[in-house]
Amino acid sequence: MDKLLETVTNAATLLCPDLEENTQTLQRKIKLLESRKVDVQADLQNAGKKRKREVEDWLINVENNITEFETLEQEIHCSRFYSRQKLAEQVERMTKEVMELVEQSDFPKGLFLEVDESIGQLMLTPPHNGQAFLQNFDDIWASLMDDNILSIGIYGMGGVGKTTVAMHAHDNLLNEPKFSGHVYWITVSQEFSIHKLQSDIAQALKLDFSCGSDEKKRAAQLFQTFQKRGSFVLILDDVWKQIDAEKIGIPPTRDGCKLVITSRSKEVCHRMGCQRIIKVNTLSEQEAWELFLKKLGRDELHPEVEEICKKMVKRCGGLPLALVTLAGSMRGVTDIHEWRDALEELKESCMGRADMENEVLPILLYSYDRLRDPKLQRCFLYCSLYPEDFFIKREKLIENFISEELMDRRLSWRAENDQGHAILNQLERACLLERVSDEYHVKSCIVSLFFSNSDCQFI
């Protein structure tokens, strides 16, 4: 029997004389592939970036080939006449595959996904306010998804929620495949210049100007950068007057590219050439009442307090900003005498301001006055020194409060720091500052207060 087996094995070797040699060659290629795998994995671990899918697939294929070779070696070692031809074919096939994987290990286009640094970031928008908001948002979204509408104007009175609904649209657009995350938010504000607006847009695009301060050259560079983006959405928030897009460097709207502006003026929307102009409506009486109660933090009210609250809500004219701020200023008040006094104070504050456009302003001023404590008012007004829609670090704010001597002096740094936190918490509870994580979002229409002849004026 042993003689017979030896004869069969010799015969098989004669039929496939190169199997052992080819197997050794394949073994060397496998070792080379394993070395490349180690190098690639080291690069992946050191970089800490998101790897490409093709790199993931390559690593899986490498592992599969290594495992398959181990099995193949065992089969070759135990092979007999009837299987050597088949094994030789497997070795030949595997050698080709391994060589291809070795060649692919160079990854000439890199191991990692190229992250576009100019892709917009989430705005972390506040929750919406009922049916009116949803209707406004649906109208805006339908226009954004309509390929025939390239420019959209969103207008409404101050405090009605234009910026809020536009922020929700911005965040939803980031997930819209057609724009690939190229959604840019720029706050314009009342006092703007071509140079500043160009700088703000360049910052959003992660663009470094190579042409100095020449506005025409900067406009040309912005134009070229936008053209390279392909499809994009540019949102200009709080536009007070017509902007010459060509002077800024904003390209004419074209297929796949959209311009969105928010403004208090419908006329500005027309002058900017908006194809679709959408008015952001105020809240209904029921929605206004529900929002006020939510921000007040009360489910049940004394009948007389409820009557006072309804009169206060009516004064707000369905403006979300006024409702939120007013409710915040009354949060925690339980004494009926204080409620009646607050209503009289609100009436006096609103006296002489019957036009709807200015209705939110005396309510905000009233909420500011209700702070009572001068240090709270000083710290609140300090926030107006920051640009509109600026995000301020909590610790940095407190540090500035201390250095500017806006608070009471304490015996230790820790005591002063605690006082700063307490002040910020009170301003937040009064809805005069809006917290985002450990930062505060400056609302221009709330904190843009300046003293003039000892009087506070909203601008």
What is the tens place of the pLDDT at every residue in 299-323?
Answer: 778 889 999 999 988 888 888 888 8
The structural domains of the chain, ordered by start, are 2-104 (no CATH), 130-279 (3.40.50.300), 285-458 (no CATH)
> Measured between alpha carbons, how far is 248 from 199 in angstroms, rounded to an integer?
10
Q: Radius of gyration over alpha carbons of the chain, in Å? A: 34
Centre a 10 Å sphere on the Cβ of residue 9 and count the other Cβ atoms it contains: 14
Return mean pLDDT, the chain: 78
Is residue 149's pLDDT more than 60? yes
Is residue 437's pLDDT more than 60? no
Per-residue confidence (pLDDT) for residue 106, from 0 to 100: 81
> Measured between alpha carbons, how far is 102 from 8 in angstroms, rounded to an integer?
37
> Measured between alpha carbons, how far is 62 from 102 in angstroms, rounded to an integer?
9
Is residue 233's pLDDT more than 70? yes
CA distances from 31 to 34, 65, 105 (A): 5, 11, 14
The mean pLDDT value for 187-215 works out to 82
Q: Which amino acid is at 68?
A: E
Is residue 354's pLDDT more than 60? no
Range from 5-14, 75-84, 280-289 carrying the lowest mean pLDDT? 5-14
Report residue 88 as tokens. 């030789």
For the stretch 210-219, contacts whose Cβ atoms lie closer than 8 Å and that sit 24 or more positions apart, written own/partner, are 215/247, 218/249, 219/246, 219/247, 219/248, 219/249
Phi, psi at residue 182, to the nearest 5°? -85, 75
Per-residue confidence (pLDDT) for residue 193, from 0 to 100: 84
Residue 130, by phi and psi: left (phi above 0), alpha (psi -120 to 50) or beta? Answer: left
Per-residue confidence (pLDDT) for residue 122, from 0 to 100: 60
The mean pLDDT value for 66-79 works out to 79
